[in-house]
Structure 1
Amino acid sequence: MSRDNFDIPEVFRRAMEEAGWDKDENREERGDDGGGGRPPFPRRPEQPGRPNRTIWLLGLFFLLLLSLNWIVTTYTEWLWFTELGYRSVWLKQWGVQVISFVVFFLLAAAVLLGNWHVARRRAMRTTPQFYPQLLQFPGFAWLINGIGLFFAFVFGSAAAAQWEELLLFLNQVPFGATEPIYGRDVSFYLFTLPIYEFLQGWFSSLLLIGLLGLLVIYFLNYLPDVQRGRWQSLLTPAMRPHVALVGALFLALWAVDHGLDLFNLLYSSRGVVFGASYTDMNATRYALWAQAVLMGLTAVAVAINIFRQNLRLPLATAALWLAASFLLGGIYPGLLQRYAVEPNEIVRESPFIEHNIRLTRLAFGLDAVETRPFDYDEAQAQRDVQSNEAGLQNVRIWDYRPLQATYEQLQALRTYYQFGEIDIDRYNFDGEIRQVMLAARELNKAQLPNRTWVNENLEFTHGYGIVMNPVDKVTQDGQPEFYIQDLPPVSSVPLEITRPEIYYGEMTTDVVFVGSDREEFSYPSGDENVYSSYSGSGGVPLDSSLKRLAFALRLADTNVLLSDEITRETRVQFHREISNRVMQITPFLELDNDPYIVAWNGRLVWVIDGYTISGRFPYATPLNGLNYIRNAVKITVDAYNGDVTYYISAPEDPIIQAY
């Protein structure tokens, strides 16, 4: 007879039963004092196992090493926000992220580790004799802890990444307009629904990971039966209620997902326009209701198996859900669209097209557009032109592309200066509004003749001045007629610039140290150079050894510690690129990609438009994934000190109010 015909574990089990080794009642009959009969078959004692102290210390050392970059970055960012006057903003953002991470990390760890350790203990009590006792291995509990904490970290990080949505949810204000399907305020879709969807997805994923872990633990307890395909033996009193409970909760969340999909119909693209269509409202909506109810019944049927083993009811409700998904969610909407909507599309879809137009205009701030008749009169048009001489004087004749090249050729003056994009602005000169074109002269360190550490970090620290010309004037040589030009700036209009240094700009992405013992290069003057020392408040003061060490670690630059020219009065300036600087403070704003520089009260100030955006406005047709936008904020950045100031230009915007 072939060896394959023998079930080795079964043979040993029967032999032990005949010998009376695994009968607890025989133990009482023969006594446990060593007299008479054979002793019971010994089980491997469970040993918790304690890692060596050296391993603990090494683990803590490597954890600290891995966390060093995060610690240094967090500390230096805290210094930066404090110096800029936005520490409370940083604390709020950072605090929400930390609290979210801790709460959801602990919740995930409790769910995963609690279920997995309970499963291990329950399974160990039913491990058959002569089966591999994998769950009793001393290191198995540590393996569970390690895997559980890893997934808890992942789930906690996912929650921390939703800090913006959480802040909007907690601080939401009514929009003041309702959608036409369910009659809910638009704020529900902008602020509340995203959090509901996140929580549903988060808990569903958590329960799914937990359920998979349970199955692995119980399967390992019956590994020989799993290998031989004997699945029936797995449905033990220890496994069945536990798996049924977690599975029922997972299915209940699945039913909630179908319920949330009812609101997502307002983002449907099935019809001729964006938003819920005739088919969505008369077919898909009822399919989702049916799916939600049937999935909820399936969850209840699975929960019943906690108390009794009967898979027929869960299988029946699951089959009904599958049929509803296929027939009501797939076949019926397609038939309705083809044979009821398409032949009468205008009639069927007209109300929904009206919803789309109205809410799209509202989302993009175009709801106040009026249509007015205009009778063209050629004589009146001629009189309008003649009476608007000031407007004609501001008609632009300069193209920014050749003007850019002209600026570089005539006003860069040195190879290490460069101009960013040409901007257009208006100034009042002696009561006359003039439209001008201008650009900032910034420093390009890549073009420095001697790129030493001192030159790049201590001496060449800033750009200098602007160039400005009217949009409608040229010289006899065909060149622009400059209002402001040269180094230092020379102005031919009543506009004086007393602080022309540009420490913060569009192209200043590097880190510099100002206020050191090394004088800073300002501008060339003939064969000589003019130097200065920084006297502003921009940057973090390096007034302690701890700060110098922190920035040396952050920049991976030992010169920060070793340089004798860096003193306690020195300041380190970073986040100098103006858009990046603003985004550090308000990452939830969408910034215009073309900041422009303004001469104001003798200083140079950058102006940036900030927008609140969303892709969650119901029924509004999206453009590049966005269907809501407001120019809600004007932001200024001082080119010398780096001060960032926000001016709310759309106080009625509910998103900026929530922030």
Structure 2
Amino acid sequence: MPLVSPVVKFVIVGSIIFLLFVLPSLVSFGASWLWMGEIGFRTVLVRELTTRLALVAGIGLAAFGFLRLNLRIARGPSRPLPVVMDDIGLRNAAPTRRPAGNLLGVASLAASVFLALVASSGWLAVLKLVHGVRFGINEAMFGRDVAFYVFTLPVLSGALALLVALTVLAVLLVVAFHVSSGGIAMSVGLVPRGDIPVIAPQEIRVSRDAANHVSGLVALYLVLAALQLWFVDIPGLLFSSTGPMVGASYTDVHARLPGLNIAAVAALLAAGAVIAGIVRGKARRYTAGAIAAYAAVSILARVVYPAAVQK
């Protein structure tokens, strides 16, 4: 059976993508273009299109640059992982595997395009923020102008969610790279037991560079989590539905609000602990402890205490 050439494969895959994704979008856009032209609002469609393209280009390039930067950092010089083999000495545990750099580069490009396309759906919120004006009416709980909740909060929420998703993707790509390059690997060694060497249990060995890199991204995630709590979740209490009506209830004001502030401070302290672990060369231990402590404080402050007050 003759092999299919790469060009033919590319044409087949490209045709499938075009028929399933590109063509329906073009048909929809063409219909909208004709309809908007008939009713005299084609400029609205042009504004939507230009805003979407600007968001896709800007966010896509920024996301791709961030992911590629992390992959480049991951390709830096790695340190060998010593594993005890016997009573004679140590052996380098890092396997001589070729990192999947090209594949992860393509994955970072695909992830960047996907994030950019998702973010472009918020074009209307961006235009509202750009052209929004103050209402001149301040809400009673935080004293902010109502325009903040109409124009700023949706964009701020989407931007922080996008940054969190980008950070998580960076963690996954970096971990995948270090696994493929041997920076993160399962190791088996021989340990003496009496006069007979026995096989030691398998352990996950993480190089210092890999641990520092992943821990740095975890610290960034914790900082973003704190920002989400302060600038999105706390203002969002005004839209709470825990009470009989939409708005901040007694539990929201006296339990959830303090809990969110405590969780935000805990996230920043956890990020500081992770950075301290990187500086002291104990990134794995400090990162694991910081995540566990933040999770415990967050559950107690945001779930357990408000539930107790609600009862």
Q: TM-score, normalised by structure 1?
A: 0.39
1:156 alignment partner in structure 2? 116
**Mapped pair 1:59 → 2:10:** yes
Deviation string, structure 1 residues 375-428 (Cα, Å, up to 9, x no partner): xxxxxxxxxxxxxxxxxxxxxxxxxxxxxxxxxxxxxxxxxxxxxxxxxxxxxx
Q: Match for 2:159 among 195, 199, 214?
A: 199
Question: Alpha-carbon deviation of 1:337?
Answer: 3.6
Query: Does the alignment pair 1:321 with 2:281?
Result: no
Letter in 1 for 2:228: D
Q: 1:78 to 1:269 in 2, by over 3 A?
A: closer
Partners of 1:306 and 1:163 lie apart in 2 by 39
> Aligned to 1:226, which of 163, 166, 186?
186
Distance 1:244 1:326, change over 3 A: closer
Which runs of no fewer than 5 residues in structure 2 stay unpaired?
82-91, 189-201
Taking only the aligned residue pairs, the percentage that are identical comes to 27
- Structure in which a larger fraction of residues adopt strand: 1
Taking structure 1 as reference, are residues 88 and 225 closer, same or farther at Cα in structure 2, changes over 3 Å only? closer
Letter in 1 for 2:251: T
The Cα offsets for residues 247-294 of structure 1, whole Å up to 9 and x where unpaired, read as 111111111122121111112222233211122211211111110001
1:530-545 matches, within 5 Å, as: none
Deviations 1:178-198 (A, max 9, x none): 211001121111111111111
- Quick check: which has more Rg, 1 or 2? 1
Q: What's the offset of the Cα at 1:303?
A: 2.2
The answer to whether structure 1 residue 257 and structure 2 residue 228 are counterparts is yes
Cα 1:200–1:309 change in 2 (3 A) is same
How far 1:126 sits from its partner (Å)?
5.1
- Residues in 2 aligned to 1:336 and 1:58: alpha-carbon distance in whole angstroms: 62
> Is the Cα–Cα contact under 8 Å of residues 80 and 93 in structure 2 kept in the other structure?
no
Q: Partners in 2 of 1:217 and 1:151 — Cα distance?
A: 15
- For the 8 Å contact 2:225–2:267, the answer to whether it is kept is yes
Q: Distance in 2 between matches of 1:180 and 1:292?
A: 23
> Is 1:211 matched up with 2:171?
yes
Alignment of 1:307 onto 2:262: no
In structure 2, do the counterparts of structure 1 residues 327 and 89 end up closer, same or farther at CA, with 3 Å as the change threshold? Answer: closer
- Return the offset for 1:98: 0.9
Matched ranges for 1:75-224 at <5 A: 77-78=32-33, 81-82=36-37, 84-123=39-78, 128=92, 131-135=95-99, 140-222=100-182
Distance 2:291 2:225 in 1: 12
Within-5 A mapping of 1:372-521: none
Q: Distance in 2 between matches of 1:72 and 1:286?
A: 51
Distance 1:179 1:141, change over 3 A: same
* C-alpha distance in 2 between matches for 1:69 and 1:334: 48
Task: Tell me the amino acid that sits aligned with residue 256 of structure 2.
Answer: T
Q: Could you tell me which residue of structure 1 aligns to residue 87 of structure 2?
A: none
Check 1:276–1:245 CA distance in 2 against 1; reply closer, same or farther (3 A cut): same
Following TM superposition, by how much is the alpha carbon of 1:298 offset from its aligned partner in structure 2, in angstroms?
0.7
Structure 1 residue matching 2:280: 3-state secondary structure: coil
Q: 1:215 corresponds to which letter in structure 2? A: V
Q: Secondary structure at the match of 2:105?
A: helix
Equivalences for 1:622-633 in 2 at 5 Å?
Answer: none
8 A contact 1:108–1:152 mirrored in 2: yes
Give the aligned residue type for 1:192: T
Give the whole-Å Cα distance in 1 for the aligned partners of 2:32 and 2:229.
43
Shift of 1:301: 1.7
1:241 pairs with one of 189, 212, 235:
212
Q: Conserved in 2, the CA contact under 8 Å of 1:101 and 1:156?
A: yes
- Match for residue 288 of structure 1 among 249, 254, 260: 260
**Contact 2:101–2:177 under 8 Å retained in 1:** no
Hey, what's the Cα distance between the residues in 2 that align with 1:304 and 1:131? 29
Unaligned runs of at least 5 residues, structure 1: 1-53, 339-659
| Amino acid in structure 2 at the alignment position of 1:131 | P
Aligned length: 278
Against the structure 1 CA distance between its residues 224 and 89, is the aligned structure 2 distance closer, same or farther, given a 3 Å change threshold? closer
Q: Which residue of structure 2 aligns with residue 276 of structure 1?
A: 248
**C-alpha RMSD of the superposition:** 3.0
Deviations 1:226-255 (A, max 9, x none): 265422x3132x213222221111111111
The one-letter code matched in structure 2 to 1:324 is V
Per the alignment, residue 197 of structure 2 pairs with none
For 2:47 and 2:164, the matched residues in 1 are separated by 29
Distance 1:60 1:266, change over 3 A: same
Read off the aligned partner of 1:328 and give its amino acid letter. A
Classify the secondary structure of the residue corresponding to 1:207.
Answer: helix
- C-alpha contact (below 8 Å) 1:131/1:224 kept by paired residues: no
Q: Which amino acid aligns with 2:161?
A: G
Indicate the structure with greater helix content: 2
SS at match of 1:226: strand
Q: Which one scores higher on RCO, CA 8 angstroms, separation ≥ 6?
A: 2
- Once the 2 structures are TM-superposed, how far is the Cα of residue 129 of structure 1 from its aligned partner? 7.8
Instruction: Return the offset for 1:309.
Output: 1.8
Deviation at 1:78, TM superposition (A): 4.0
Partners of 1:300 and 1:147 in 2: CA distance: 31
Distance 1:309 1:119 in 2: 17
> Conserved in 2, the CA contact under 8 Å of 1:112 and 1:210?
yes
Structure 1, residues 538-562: CA drift from partner, whole Å, max 9, x if none?
xxxxxxxxxxxxxxxxxxxxxxxxx
Query: With structure 2 as the length reference, what TM-score do the two structures score?
Result: 0.77
